[in-house]
Structure 1
Amino acid sequence: MSDRSPYSARLPADESRDHLMIQAAKLYYDLDRTQAQVADELGLTRWQVGRLLAEAKAEGVVRVEIVPRARRATGLEAALQARWNLREALVVPMGGVTDPDMLNEGIAQAAARWLATLTPKPALMGVSWGRTMAALARALPQGWAPGLEVVLLNGAAALTVTDPRSSAVAEAVAQAAGGSATLLPVPAILGQPSTCRALEADPVIARALARGAAAPLLAFSMGGVSHRSALCAQGYLSPAEIDALRAHGAVGDILGHFVDAAGQPVDAALDARTLGLPLHRLPHAEHRLALVAGAEKHAIARAALQAGYVSVLVTDDATAHFLLETPNE
């Protein structure tokens, strides 16, 4: 290190400091010099260069812009992570699109990219079912997690079938990964609580439920309280029952459990007939990947965040704005 620098002991505190800051920033960011090279050219120590560069970013002299290859609203992502204490947020700009299928495809592709780059690769994963999750399964690249065991988290035996792909999510995710699927071949909602308890006690069903509860990675979507609900389309609930749930304060469902704005079940009797992973188990998983988009799901997205069910959120920009603008309860 050269001894010629008048700043070797202490950086100046006047305009010459700003001049040095700009010089260091140009050399480092525009001319691709290393910090050691910048230090040598300016007659500073590496510690001083590092301090000048840090100040340059803090004071707005240098602005670092993240431009991802895939369309992402990184500013909204950072704000969501800070506001809701998320490990990760992925926000897809949809340009005002409101069509549910297009929204699902957009966020499903973003979620698939996140899963495909996850390291280390998971060995066990729990998934829910539905239209959004079916879109995720279609978007996953082949061989993204060889040997992965995929477990269905809630019952998916449909009473009526409008789209068979929406209930075959575990199989599709496992096939794309190059792994295997553990299914839960029971209805999502039973007619009697006693029937639900009996099925949960069955060794085959109990084993599948236990595998789901043990999965360190859970991926699930959320449903709004509307007649478009997958549970309504699959014949579990009638439009009149959906309307009654809304009247009782339901804002949507997570894994078949209809919850209020705080993320708590609104109908104890219905919840006792719902077969699948209990909501209180969600926070125990290391990664809780939630996919949600569209105005009818704004309230359920907020409820899930409020209750701490989500660690990784994938959503559209309109939903992100809603989640940032509404106050905490």
Structure 2
Amino acid sequence: MKSIFDIKTEQEFLDVVLATFRYQYKNIEVYGKFVDYLNINVEEVNSLGKIPFLPIEMFKNHKILDQNISTDLYFQSSGTTQMNLSKHFIADDNLYQESIYKSFEQFIGKPEDFVFLGLLPSYLEKQNSSLIYMVDYLMKKSGKPENGYFLYNHQDLLKLLNVLKDKKVILFGVSFALLDFLDFYHSEQSEESLTARQNLIIIETGGMKGRKEEMTKDELLTILQKGFQTQKIYSEYSMTELLSQAYSLGENVYECPNWMRVLVRNVEDPFNYETAGKTGAINIIDLANIHSCSFIATQDLGKLLSENEKKFQVLGRIDHSDIRGCSLLVS
């Protein structure tokens, strides 16, 4: 089968998708049973719209893993200790690393060119975070001595940002932590100014988790743009159950790498798909998930901005869906 990272055309993408679907039907027990439960004739699946998408909640109660694989590595969703957390077992972390690198390079640049800082307290305080693994890997590829994480030591972060004012810096931050940092900066505790600069890129990763009053994504971006004195705030969209990332370079418009696609399903009819511009629930095709499930029905609401399923917006959560650490702000 063609390497997912060599996909260039829509036909190549479809060919790999259909091959992946048939492989996972035979080798991912939970997915195979799910397809059979829906009484779907596998031989008749010949387009993206006919593929069954596994409800993301299945990762909470089932081990979704290639029957030919044995692995102890897994990522776990964030949440309270009372919640039943999702587990995504990882058969090939090298594949995840390649996906991380190529997505970042496609949308932002080579990791080697940046200093990476992480303001991700809720994720650092949990184990088995796919987000921390991703940022760790980018820091490793960067190799810069200034790379590092910050919990709640905002003064230290502010000082370092100003020390690094002449270097290209990526600051990954969960939404509430970025807002907390700006609250600190604007308080009397801050003795330093935040230097406006062109070479600082803020990448927010979503997630208020009840830590702040809910706001729309547009409101969040406006606050962050003003606070960090930058024209654009970037965003990253992924989750525990995926091995690929979509990036927004501003305006809450995300784009998928060539091995990832988004379909927007009708909330009432999961096999009926919305056209570009109409809101529905997000389905994700992630071909890097070859050894788990590449076809995930999420509980996020969104809409396509182009018919080729590569540009989309995330608008919030479906009502009554579980609160998840990776959930984005309600819009």
Q: TM-score, normalised by structure 2?
A: 0.34
Structure whose residues are more often strand by fraction: 2
Task: Mark the structure with the bigger radius of gyration.
Answer: 1
TM-score by length of 1: 0.34
